[in-house]
Structure 1
Amino acid sequence: MSTTTHSSNTGQKLQAIITNLRKKSAQYSERVASEEEADYECATCKDRGIIVYRVHKDTPWELDEKKKHLVPEAMVPEDDFLSGKVCTPDKAREWKDTYSKQCECVRQKKIARLMKASGITEEFEKLVFGNFKTEGKPDMIKEAYDCAIEYFKDFENIHRKRSNSIALLGQPGSGKTHLSTAIMNNLIKKKSIHCLYFPYVEGMGNLKTDFDQLETKLDAMRKVEVLFIDDLFKPAKGQPRATEWQIEQIQSVVNYRYLNHLPLLISSELTTDELLNIDEALGSRIHQMCRDYTVIIKGDRMKLNHRLGD
């Protein structure tokens, strides 16, 4: 075969490839135009959950230490490549490498599911560290705030250890629920951790009323990644709400979480000694779990109870 004939055949093949790529590009453009008319929840990934990128053959890849895989230093959206915005058809082969990652909408949807399952109300969702007031407050309030912040920062390192929980105890109205809820909101929204809110008074009432679902609800409390028990044994007329049945249910939850190193967030008007007086086995487990992150707020109620001070 002559050199001229060989060159001619090569040129024809290249032209065929270019023609085919142009045809695919035109078809893709038509599809994109059609898709743009569709109503997507996420315009970025078009509800696919994955974003695909094209990477040029000469692009360096580097190791992402956190994700433990290689990531290209530069990339372009697959949609832009297929629509001809990145290169001419004859350069398409140089962009055959691909890289894909999960769309941010997947994380946002998971967070929405976790928030819905947490039992947190819309009002409680607004309770964050940023709107907790410490200015002009007694040192105990600042200490509780600092402890809550420290606990959240330490969470990833401690959550499987024995002391993996936090207890904010004492004065009503001092912000214990606010700070514990702020921890919970941050764990859900920043770390995608499944948390469950259990308001002691209402929760125990619901457990007793819906007795058929008692074991199912207790099992959820035992096994959720993080459980927040708010106002544990909240006193009524000066006496802790701690009947034998109530202690038994709380004990079954705490024992399971204690043995399986599952974190608790505890708020209570009772001190550690008062929890021990109700049931020493239960109180000592809570103390051991919260040993490194416990603040007891006691003093002048007019200064410590923000509802009275404001």
Structure 2
Amino acid sequence: MAAEQSNYVAPCPYELCDGGGMIVDWDANESYRCRCWPEQVQRRRSRRLSREIPKRFRNIGFEREPLPSIARTAPDVVRAVRRFCDRIDEMLDRGEGMWFLGSPGTGKSHLAYLISQAALAANRSVAIYTGPRLLDEIRRTYDDDTPGATLDLIDRLTNVELLHVEDLAVARPTDWVLEQLYNIVNGRYENEKSIVFTCDLTGDAEEGSGAIDPRWLARHITDRNFSRLVEMCGDPQMLFGADNRQAVYKPHAWES
């Protein structure tokens, strides 16, 4: 299956070529680039990015658990995600995004992966990373002898049609981290590319309020990153409630 997916050629969205990005005029004995050429080039470049949905989140659906349970506690959020998925091409063409904020174990990742799944099903280019792994990938390019390796990776992360980042606020916000995050966020902002991300920040740690405050993220990733993400993704989709992972936890024999 993996080999089949890697050799898959997306059809031409304009129905002008065979999906390869070139049109052959046999009568004139010449060939030229199709309208879809830039999109095909971008898809080929994006294959070098991480695009695999983790096993736990594969083949999820709105009618399969845990989505019905999430819908009972956050019906408006699930409806918003369903609308996004139903209009996936329109949303990605417009560079619209979505972000999920709340306490751990409330379904943020399931909802975000529904969007990535819809984008992949629509043959759109997708990159999927956790926050720490994304930064590790950038660090690794520093050891690459290929000239411009770091810039090439940032360029691909900037131009992929959908960037999905899990746990955006996990990474320690050093100056280097914030600089790389800005390069990616600002690049996507300027090119009107969609981003979907999740975040576990659940309140002001200093005040100990326990309330979900979206502005807390600005203090973690800087105002300039936060401002761009809010314009791209709108208000956060808020998820409250108990940690469902702990609810299904069964103690081991030696713990009882």
TM over 0.5: yes
- Is the contact between residue 166 and residue 264 of structure 1 (CA under 8 Å) also seen in structure 2? yes
After superposition, the Cα gap between the structure-2 partners of 1:204 and 1:282, relative to the gap in structure 1 and judged at 3 Å, is: same
Return the match for 1:272 from 199, 211, 214. 214
After superposition, the Cα gap between the structure-2 partners of 1:219 and 1:296, relative to the gap in structure 1 and judged at 3 Å, is: same
Instruction: Give the equivalent residue in structure 2 for 1:289.
Output: 232
Instruction: Give the equivalent residue in structure 2 for 1:179.
Output: 111
- Is the contact between residue 107 and residue 239 of structure 2 (CA under 8 Å) also seen in structure 1? no
**2-side partners of 1:178 and 1:137: how far apart?**
9
After superposition, the Cα gap between the structure-2 partners of 1:166 and 1:181, relative to the gap in structure 1 and judged at 3 Å, is: same
CA displacement 1:39-86 (0-9 Å, x = unmatched): xxx9xxxxxx9xxxxxxxxxxxxxxxx9799xxxxxxxxxxxxxxxxx
**2-side partners of 1:198 and 1:181: how far apart?**
11
- Percent identical across equivalent pairs? 19
What is the deviation of 1:133? 2.0
What is the deviation of 1:140? 4.6
TM-score normalised by structure 2 residue count:
0.65
Q: Does 1:256 align with 2:187?
A: yes
Instruction: Give the equivalent residue in structure 2 for 1:13.
Output: none
- Is the contact between residue 98 and residue 197 of structure 2 (CA under 8 Å) also seen in structure 1? yes
Q: Does 1:205 align with 2:136?
A: yes
Instruction: Give the equivalent residue in structure 1 for 2:52.
Output: 119
After superposition, the Cα gap between the structure-2 partners of 1:137 and 1:225, relative to the gap in structure 1 and judged at 3 Å, is: closer
- Is the contact between residue 272 and residue 287 of structure 1 (CA under 8 Å) also seen in structure 2? no
What is the deviation of 1:116? 8.9
- Is the contact between residue 168 and residue 176 of structure 1 (CA under 8 Å) also seen in structure 2? yes
Equivalent residue letter for 2:239? I
**2-side partners of 1:133 and 1:172: how far apart?**
15
CA displacement 1:108-146 (0-9 Å, x = unmatched): xx9xx9699613344443344343424455755333322
Instruction: Give the equivalent residue in structure 2 for 1:157.
Output: 90
**1-side partners of 2:161 and 2:168: how far apart?**
19
Instruction: Give the equivalent residue in structure 2 for 1:241.
Output: 172
- Is the contact between residue 144 and residue 168 of structure 1 (CA under 8 Å) also seen in structure 2? no
Q: 1:143-154 maps to which residues of 2 (within 5 A)? A: 143-154=76-87
What is the deviation of 1:150? 1.4
What is the deviation of 1:159? 2.8
Q: How many residues align?
A: 194
After superposition, the Cα gap between the structure-2 partners of 1:132 and 1:141, relative to the gap in structure 1 and judged at 3 Å, is: farther
**Unmatched segments (≥5 aa) in structure 1:** 1-41, 43-48, 50-65, 70-109, 235-239
After superposition, the Cα gap between the structure-2 partners of 1:114 and 1:130, relative to the gap in structure 1 and judged at 3 Å, is: farther
**Unmatched segments (≥5 aa) in structure 2:** 17-42, 202-212, 249-256
Equivalent residue letter for 1:166? M
- Is the contact between residue 222 and residue 256 of structure 1 (CA under 8 Å) also seen in structure 2? yes
After superposition, the Cα gap between the structure-2 partners of 1:284 and 1:139, relative to the gap in structure 1 and judged at 3 Å, is: farther
Equivalent residue letter for 1:251? Y
After superposition, the Cα gap between the structure-2 partners of 1:140 and 1:274, relative to the gap in structure 1 and judged at 3 Å, is: farther
Return the match for 1:230 from 155, 166, 171. 166
SS at match of 2:173: coil
Structure number with the bigger relative contact order (C-alpha 8 A, sep ≥ 6) is: 2
Q: Does 1:308 align with 2:246?
A: yes
**2-side partners of 1:252 and 1:181: how far apart?**
24
What is the deviation of 1:251? 0.9
**1-side partners of 2:67 and 2:116: how far apart?**
19
SS at match of 2:105: coil
- Is the contact between residue 49 and residue 127 of structure 2 (CA under 8 Å) also seen in structure 1? no
**1-side partners of 2:129 and 2:119: how far apart?**
16
SS at match of 2:184: helix
What is the deviation of 1:308? 1.8
Q: 1:4-43 maps to which residues of 2 (within 5 A)? A: none
TM-score normalised by structure 1 residue count:
0.54
**2-side partners of 1:214 and 1:67: how far apart?**
33
**2-side partners of 1:168 and 1:188: how far apart?**
20
